[in-house]
Amino acid sequence: MIQREKTTIFTDAKESNTVYDLKKIIEGITKKAPEDQKLFKDGEVLEDTKTLADSGLTSNKAKAQDPATLGLSFRVEDTDDFEELNVVPYSNPPELPDVMKQSDTSVANPAEQPVP
């Protein structure tokens, strides 16, 4: 899972792919060249020549039900500078209204009552 600002990209890659290979996949989605991208893991910039496995992204640590998270930043147009890494956290759902909350568990569910 790759995040930048309010955008999340879900993609699949092999441990043997390089970080540059992953940037090529991202290029197909964002239309930003690999040279104009920086990928981050735990706040550290990933090196283009390293494999995903060498960067700590293995199938043991990145699963479909619990994907690894990478940050993405782009080069600021017409400069050599990159934007600051900015990942907007997901919002939390609002609290359930009282009528939707589970009532006292000691009260039997009418659907579970025996039929006379």
Q: Does residue 34 sit in helix, strand or coil?
A: helix
Q: What is the pLDDT of residue 45?
A: 97
**What residue ranges do the domains of the chain occupy?**
2-74
Instruction: Report the pLDDT value the prediction gives residue 99, as an integer from 0 to 100.
Output: 86
For residue 41, which of 77, 2, 14 has the smallest C-alpha distance? 2
- Burial (0-12, 13-18, 19+ Cβ within 10 Å), 22: buried
pLDDT one-digit tens code per residue, 26-36: 999 999 999 99
The CATH architecture one would assign to domain 2-74 is: Roll (3.10)
